[in-house]
């Protein structure tokens, strides 16, 4: 009898936990082609100031709701499209299409008028300007301005587009791009700290491995998905090396402890696991950083929330199962983190960052690891390998790469009138017939965009 009752009790528990923030999924099912959902999971801040508090747009929707939330939300969304909830002069629907926030009066966009007047003698304002783009790409990817002679040569080139792409090729091979330009894009993803680097005051790992892999995967004609799926490392000489790499100090410090079948690019290096997991049994920070760095979803900003029913289980007794507060993030974060629990942070058998099948104190069957609504099997033997593969093949990864490069190239976040070009960059990045995940191919398309080349 007791065996019979247990499954029933679990079902009841699961049902009671359905009071979840299902809003993001429903929202994007309704508005899948809007910028907030294109290659992204809409942030809770679209409707909330901080969940569960509503912003003006969320308040409008709430007032239009009557009945079961999941059933009536689409109708409520449609009902308030014509309103201007935040009184910024744009209707809610106009803001959704533009990609601005309909609940934030400070978030709006009015497309600039076309330039008017006699021809500008120095710039092709309002249309693609070859010379402007040439200078911009040289500074962005060569780390210097074109010289006077180079500008003269470019001005005389019969095929300006070809000249631009030739210049880009040269820049992408330059010492600047290979050693500094790309590395600066890695900083917030690797989050180095010299004091605990292998040559620091308290040596715990070596982030040089991370920088080398980042640059390697995004240069030449390599597959950028290796950022998440590489089973190899890159040695100081630039060559790939595989397998366990011994460290010099205790806890294998400075080496790479993961075997090939437990490797997953940037998110299983000794540095990444050490600096984010540290002593956590359930490495929520590690998972959140991987989600933020490579899928562009910052859970701390209520982004990328895809709650799992029955979560959070608070498997490590940290008190994260409060239904009024913690549930909004931890119902996504905890399932995201389970796969990382099989890797050491600091210390543990095998050294910093080593895979250990018996590391978690809970039974593997007690939890279900998830990413992007996909359940992960056998994480106790495969670690985060499947997590990384799901991540690398998702549109979120492509969107993150495209956004990273476009933001770097123009020196600011893409504006609403540039989001279509951003989406096209991301789509082409995934397309085997276009970029096939090659970063340098994406950059060649990027410098042809209006966002880059129209002054």
Partner 1 sequence: MRRLTLSLLTFVASCAMVTSTSCTEPVAPAEGEGEGEGEGEGEGEGEGEGEGEGEGEGEEPLPPPPFAISTKGAVAWKRQRALESDLMTALVLAKGEVCNELGQFSCIDFVHQVPLGGNDPFVKSQYEPLAIPTVTTPIAVERVVLSACVARVTKDIDAAPVVFTTLDLGASAVSDEEADATITALFRRLLMRDPEAHELAELRGLTDDEGTAVPPRDFAIASCFAIGTMVEGLFY
Task: Tell me which of 1, 9, 121, 300 binds partner 1, using CB under 8 A.
Answer: 121
Q: Which residues between 205 and 234 bind partner 1 (CB under 8 A)? A: none
- Residue of 454, 443, 439 whose CA lies nearest to 221: 439
Alpha helices (runs of H) in 258-349, residue ranges in sequence order: 270-277, 284-295, 327-337
- Residue of 379, 455, 380, 370 whose CA lies nearest to 410: 455
Q: Which residues between 126 and 165 bind partner 1 (CB under 8 A)? A: 126, 132, 135-136, 139-140, 143-148, 150-151
Helices 130-137 and 160-172 cross at an angle (nearest 10°) of: 10
Q: Which residue number, 132 or 232, has a Cβ lying nearer to partner 1?
A: 132
Q: Of 10-18, 183-191, 257-265, 312-320, which segment contacts partner 1 by CB under 8 A?
A: 183-191
Look up residue 362 and give its two tokens: 């809970």
The nearest distance, CB 156 to partner 1, in angstroms, is 14
Residue 281 per-residue DSSP state = S
The nearest distance, CB 216 to partner 1, in angstroms, is 19
Task: Tell me which of 128, 176, 232, 362 binds partner 1, using CB under 8 A.
Answer: 176
Which residues are CB-contacts of 385 (< 8 A; sequence separation ≥ 6)? 229, 261, 262, 263, 264
The nearest distance, CB 366 to partner 1, in angstroms, is 36
Instruction: Give the contact letters, 79-118, x = binds to partner 1 (CB under 8 A), - = no.
Output: ---------------------------------xxxxxxx
Pairing of strands 240-242, 370-371: unpaired
How many residues line the site for partner 1 (CB under 8 A)?
A: 44
Whose structure tokens read 């960059």?
A: 425
Q: Which residue number, 47 or 140, has a Cβ lying nearer to partner 1?
A: 140
- CA–CA separation, 385 and 361 (whole Å): 21
Q: Which residue number, 87 or 106, has a Cβ lying nearer to partner 1?
A: 106
Look up residue 209 and give its two tokens: 């491995």
301 binds partner 1 (CB under 8 A): no
Return the number of other C-beta atoms located less than 10 Å from residue 183's C-beta: 17
Task: Tell me which of 18, 122, 239, 366 binds partner 1, using CB under 8 A.
Answer: 122
Say if residues 376 and 369 touch (Cβ distance below 8 Å): yes
The nearest distance, CB 227 to partner 1, in angstroms, is 17
Say if residues 102 and 96 touch (Cβ distance below 8 Å): yes
Q: Which residues between 401 and 440 bind partner 1 (CB under 8 A)? A: 410-412, 415
Q: Which residue number, 226 or 418, has a Cβ lying nearer to partner 1?
A: 418
Say if residues 77 and 28 touch (Cβ distance below 8 Å): no
Look up residue 320 and give its two tokens: 């994260």
- CA–CA separation, 155 and 83 (whole Å): 51
Instruction: Give the contact letters, 185-204, x = binds to partner 1 (CB under 8 A), - = no.
Output: --xx-xxxxx--x-------
Can you give the binding site for partner 1, defined by CB under 8 A? 112-123, 125-126, 132, 135-136, 139-140, 143-148, 150-151, 176, 180, 184, 187-188, 190-194, 197, 410-412, 415, 454-455
């Amino acid at each position: 009898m007791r065996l019979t009752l247990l499954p029933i009790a679990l079902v009841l528990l699961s049902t009671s936990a359905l009071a979840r923030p299902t809003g993001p999924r429903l929202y994007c099912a309704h508005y899948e082609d809007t910028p907030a959902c294109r290659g992204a999971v809409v942030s809770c801040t679209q409707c909330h100031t901080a969940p569960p508090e509503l912003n003006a747009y969320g308040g409008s929707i709430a007032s239009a709701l009557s009945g079961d939330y999941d059933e009536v939300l689409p109708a409520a969304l449609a009902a308030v499209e014509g309103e201007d909830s935040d009184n910024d002069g744009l209707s809610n629907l106009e803001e959704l299409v533009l990609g601005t926030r309909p609940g934030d009066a400070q978030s709006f966009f009015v497309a600039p008028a076309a330039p008017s007047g006699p021809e500008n003698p120095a710039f092709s304002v309002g249309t693609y300007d070859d010379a402007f783009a040439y200078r911009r790409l040289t500074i962005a990817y060569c780390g210097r301005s074109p010289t006077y002679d180079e500008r003269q040569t470019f001005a005389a080139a019969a095929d300006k587009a070809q000249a631009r792409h030739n210049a880009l090729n040269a820049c992408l091979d330059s010492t600047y791009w290979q050693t500094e330009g790309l590395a600066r894009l890695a900083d917030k993803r690797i989050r180095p700290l010299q004091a605990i680097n292998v040559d620091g005051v308290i040596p715990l790992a070596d982030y040089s491995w991370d920088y080398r892999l980042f640059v390697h995967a995004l240069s030449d004609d390599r597959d950028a998905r290796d950022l998440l799926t590489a089973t190899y490392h890159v040695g100081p000489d630039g060559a790939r090396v595989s397998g366990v790499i011994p460290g010099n100090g205790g806890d294998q410090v400075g080496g790479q402890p993961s075997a090939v079948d437990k490797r997953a690019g940037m998110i299983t290096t000794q540095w990444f696991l050490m600096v984010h997991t540290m002593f956590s049994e359930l490495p929520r920070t590690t998972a959140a950083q991987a989600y933020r760095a490579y899928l562009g979803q910052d859970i701390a900003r209520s982004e990328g929330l895809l709650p799992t029913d029955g979560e959070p289980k608070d498997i490590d007794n940290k008190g994260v199962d409060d239904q009024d507060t913690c549930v909004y993030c931890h119902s996504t974060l905890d399932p995201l983190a389970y796969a990382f629990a099989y890797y050491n942070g600091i210390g543990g058998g095998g050294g910093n960052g080593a895979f250990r099948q018996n590391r978690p104190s809970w039974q593997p069957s007690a939890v279900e690891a998830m990413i992007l609504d996909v359940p992960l099997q056998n994480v106790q033997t495969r670690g985060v390998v499947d997590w990384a593969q799901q991540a690398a093949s998702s549109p979120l990864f492509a969107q993150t790469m495209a956004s990273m490069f476009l933001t770097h190239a123009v020196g600011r976040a893409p504006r609403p009138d540039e989001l279509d070009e951003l989406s096209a960059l991301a789509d082409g990045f995934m397309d085997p017939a276009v970029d096939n995940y090659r970063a340098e191919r994406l950059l060649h398309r990027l410098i042809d965009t209006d966002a880059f080349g129209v002054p």
